[in-house]
Chain A
Amino acid sequence: MVGKSSISLIPAVIESREIVKTFPNGREVIQVLDGVDFKLERGKTASIRGESGSGKTTFLNIISGLEAVDSGQLFWDGNRVDLRSSGELAAVRSSQIGFIFQAYYLLPELNLWENVLLAARLRGKPEPRERDRAEYLLRRVGLAERFKFSVEKLSGGERQRAALARALMNRPRLILADEPTGNLDETTGDSMIELLLEMVREEGASLILVTHNMKHAAKTDVSYRLHLGKLQPVKHNG
């Protein structure tokens, strides 16, 4: 059974214990996460499904340190991080976690290549090695001819592929993808997920994929459903 703590020499890329998260809403309090335990081994992929408003995005934000927990513990590579300052986390996050969002969030004032390289730039002056990597990734996601293209001239699928290249730029250990196919048509979405899984494996990264699509969810190593503040493992048939 997945989710039970197993003894391993390699620490999990990410591990959460008893995460509780509430949001104030006027006089009431919304209980979004009510004790979430989660663990993802190096190189593994996981999917999370759940109704709208069930707290999937909130959970990803907590995992990446963008949002603080009410209680519970969070580990990155076996190190406890939920008590660290946001500044400290930001520095680690830039090299360890890559993000993919439903709405791409590419910067329109940069061309494609610059968008991908921006991930490296945020950590300091990009080295030639990193420039080469940005180029390699763009080629790998099938945008070889579009290096100097303005983001606004690309289709949704192309944009999401560029976002994937950007997410992988700094060789992160973990990719967080929040409904990456939400704005894409079915075929494009399917091939996007194929590419995502392929490249995550190639790069040896781990992945947490939030999706509403059962078919996509079934492609990851493990699957969960977030319901009533708890994460439940899901078994796929075939």
Chain B
Amino acid sequence: MPWSFYLALKQLFPSGRKLSFFSVLSIAGVSLGVCLLIVVLSVMNGFQKEIRDKIVETTGHLRVEAGSVIYDYDGIMEALLGLEYRGEKVIRAVSPYAYGFVIVQNRSVPVFPAIRGVDIAYEAEIVPFNKFLISGSVDDLDNDSVIISSGLARKIGARQGDVLELASPLIIEKLKEDELMLPREVRVVGIFETGWTVIDNNTLFCTLTLMQEFYGLEDGIHGLTVRLVDGYDEEVDLITGKVNELLRQGEDFPMGVRAFSWLDLNRDFLFVLQLEKSVMFFLLLFVILVSAFAITSTLLITVVRKTKEIGLLAAMGAKPGGLVACYTFQGFILGVGGATLGIALALLALANRNEIVGFVAKIFNKEEALIRFYRFTHLPAHYQRDDFLWVVLCAIIISTLAGLIPAFRASRMKPASALRDE
């Protein structure tokens, strides 16, 4: 070991004594920053993952659409289910759907929810209805009934068993041809809530047949929802590429039929989520920056305090480069130590996160509020290797840079003056 590293270690961890106070403080500072960053990023990942899971749970991994009504889709379904990716069948379920908007009236309040007509037998393979239903049952869904979202139910004051009037936008088309299309009466057989507000606010499910009638599609559909076999979430883009290849090759597939991954369809939203995380990372990095300032100032004090010893080292043949290395290395070690301890603390905190949240909530007597307003009973967390790498890298780089100013100060001392210094 070069003498500069040796001396750096000794200055931080002196022989025959406990840790130096300065090392403990500096490492504590860095580790707090690292801990905070990891905890916040991991919890954000957790929420993000919940949201992403929810999106996939409610809308599937892929959508296949043609930009127009698809009439003959049995061939596509079969082809999709048979798709192989790296020698494995990766598509678990395919479900046809038709969608649009309707005018709903209950007690003369008109609203315009989105409506999705699905074949429950297929759709149940993709959407865990039972998990989302807060009342009623999908088994009761027939061609004269609907399932509505909780937000919509609240808005129009509808309950299970109520009868709603649904009017199709087709009414206008028909009117042009002097035909009259009356609103259709449907029963509410269930109310669901996914936790995914976009859907919960304003959605309505019915059978594919009802939707086809309603929109005059005959036996056509608007598209197919695709769910992948578990474990292929990360490769959804590649699989989408494969699906598109398949769709282009098939000769009797409709013109312009294409697959879109849920990542494509939610690009903007996911970008905002990612941006949020990046901003958080950037802001919390300042905690590390602050502790780096502490490192710089303490090391500077050390350099000044040790002026004579630095002079002595120079007299004994130490070169300026060695002195730079010595103090920069101290910053580096503090960074590594802080990062290691910080990760350990973060993992500990995350492992006990629910106890911690519960404890804090109890102190402030806010347990109910937590559940009511934030809609969570447990704090999600998800570890991402990249977060750890980035945080550790930043902590080490910043701490090392923090050692640089004291290092140059030490190396630029003139040995004769340093030794003379009173």
Question: Which residues of A are at the interface with B, using a C-beta cutoff of 8 A?
Answer: 57-58, 61, 64, 66-67, 87, 90-91, 93-95, 99, 101, 103, 105, 107-111, 114, 118-119, 121-123, 125, 148-150
By the criterion CB–CB under 8 Å, are B15 and A114 in contact? yes
Which residues of B sit under 8 angstroms from A95, Cβ to Cβ? 317
By the criterion CB–CB under 8 Å, are A99 and B316 in contact? yes
Q: Is B270's beta carbon under 8 Å from chain A?
A: no
Jot down 9 A-B pairs with beta carbons below 8 A, ordered by A.
A58-B416, A66-B416, A66-B419, A94-B316, A99-B312, A99-B315, A101-B419, A107-B10, A114-B15
By the criterion CB–CB under 8 Å, are A150 and B17 in contact? yes
Interface string of B280-321 (1 = CB under 8 A from A): 000000000000000000000000000011011111111100
The chain A residue with its CB closest to the CB of B15 is A111
Q: Closest approach, in angstroms, between the C-beta of A192 and any C-beta of chain B? A: 19
By the criterion CB–CB under 8 Å, are B6 and A105 in contact? no
By the criterion CB–CB under 8 Å, are B317 and A67 in contact? no
By the criterion CB–CB under 8 Å, are A57 and B420 in contact? yes
By the criterion CB–CB under 8 Å, are A64 and B315 in contact? yes
Which of A93, A105, A121, A122 sits near B308, CB closer than 8 Å?
Answer: A105
The chain B residue with its CB closest to the CB of A57 is B420
Which residues of A sit under 8 angstroms from B415, Cβ to Cβ? 66
Which residues of A sit under 8 angstroms from B11, Cβ to Cβ? 109
In the assembled complex, the Cα of A107 lies from the Cα of B1 at a distance in Å of 18
Which residues of B sit under 8 angstroms from A107, Cβ to Cβ? 7, 10, 309
Which residues of A sit under 8 angstroms from B6, Cβ to Cβ? 121
By the criterion CB–CB under 8 Å, are B1 and A61 in contact? no
By the criterion CB–CB under 8 Å, are A150 and B15 in contact? yes
The chain B residue with its CB closest to the CB of A87 is B319
By the criterion CB–CB under 8 Å, are B313 and A122 in contact? yes
Q: Closest approach, in angstroms, between the C-beta of A70 and any C-beta of chain B? A: 14
By the criterion CB–CB under 8 Å, are B15 and A90 in contact? no
Q: Closest approach, in angstroms, between the C-beta of A202 and any C-beta of chain B? A: 21
In the assembled complex, the Cα of A57 lies from the Cα of B7 at a distance in Å of 27
Interface string of B1-29 (1 = CB under 8 A from A): 10100110011001111001000000000
Which residues of A sit under 8 angstroms from B317, Cβ to Cβ? 90-91, 93-95, 122-123
Q: Closest approach, in angstroms, between the C-beta of A12 and any C-beta of chain B? A: 21
Q: Closest approach, in angstroms, between the C-beta of B8 and any C-beta of chain A? A: 10
Which residues of A sit under 8 angstroms from B309, Cβ to Cβ? 105, 107
By the criterion CB–CB under 8 Å, are B1 and A125 in contact? yes
By the criterion CB–CB under 8 Å, are B1 and A109 in contact? no
Minimum-distance CB pairs A-B, first 5: A94-B317, A109-B14, A105-B312, A67-B416, A111-B15
Which residues of B sit under 8 angstroms from A87, Cβ to Cβ? 319
Which residues of B sit under 8 angstroms from A93, Cβ to Cβ? 315-317
Interface residues in B366-382 by Cβ distance below 8 A to A read none
Which residues of A sit under 8 angstroms from B315, Cβ to Cβ? 64, 66, 93, 99
Known: A67-B416, A110-B15. A90 touches B318 (CB 8 A): yes
Known: A93-B315, A122-B313. A148 touches B420 (CB 8 A): no
Which of B10, B308, B311, B420 sits near A109, CB closer than 8 Å?
Answer: B10
Q: Closest approach, in angstroms, between the C-beta of B314 and any C-beta of chain A? A: 7
Which residues of B sit under 8 angstroms from A101, Cβ to Cβ? 312, 419
Known: A101-B419, A125-B1. A109 touches B15 (CB 8 A): yes
Which residues of A sit under 8 angstroms from B17, Cβ to Cβ? 150
The chain B residue with its CB closest to the CB of A91 is B317
By the criterion CB–CB under 8 Å, are A119 and B14 in contact? no
Which of B10, B312, B322 sits near A114, CB closer than 8 Å?
Answer: B10
In the assembled complex, the Cα of A99 lies from the Cα of B314 at a distance in Å of 11
Q: Closest approach, in angstroms, between the C-beta of A166 and any C-beta of chain B? A: 8
The chain B residue with its CB closest to the CB of A169 is B316
In the assembled complex, the Cα of A123 lies from the Cα of B4 at a distance in Å of 11
Known: A67-B416, A105-B312. A118 touches B15 (CB 8 A): no
Interface centre among A58, A91, A118, A123 (most CB of B within 10 A): A118
In the assembled complex, the Cα of A91 lies from the Cα of B315 at a distance in Å of 10
The chain B residue with its CB closest to the CB of A176 is B315
By the criterion CB–CB under 8 Å, are A108 and B14 in contact? yes
Known: A90-B317, A110-B14. 9 other contacts (CB 8 A): A61-B416, A66-B315, A103-B308, A105-B419, A107-B7, A109-B11, A110-B10, A122-B318, A150-B15
Which of B1, B3, B20, B319 sits near A90, CB closer than 8 Å?
Answer: B319
Known: A93-B317, A107-B309, A122-B317. A150 touches B416 (CB 8 A): no
Q: Closest approach, in angstroms, between the C-beta of A49 and any C-beta of chain B? A: 19
Interface residues in B221-252 by Cβ distance below 8 A to A read none
In the assembled complex, the Cα of A183 lies from the Cα of B10 at a distance in Å of 27
The chain A residue with its CB closest to the CB of B13 is A109
In the assembled complex, the Cα of A109 lies from the Cα of B316 at a distance in Å of 17
The chain B residue with its CB closest to the CB of A121 is B3
In the assembled complex, the Cα of A66 lies from the Cα of B318 at a distance in Å of 12
In the assembled complex, the Cα of A37 lies from the Cα of B20 at a distance in Å of 48
Known: A103-B308, A125-B1. A90 touches B314 (CB 8 A): yes
Known: A64-B315, A94-B316. A111 touches B416 (CB 8 A): no
In the assembled complex, the Cα of A7 lies from the Cα of B312 at a distance in Å of 35
Q: Closest approach, in angstroms, between the C-beta of B1 and any C-beta of chain A? A: 7
In the assembled complex, the Cα of A64 lies from the Cα of B1 at a distance in Å of 27
Which residues of A sit under 8 angstroms from B10, Cβ to Cβ? 107, 109-110, 114
Which residues of A sit under 8 angstroms from B312, Cβ to Cβ? 99, 101, 105
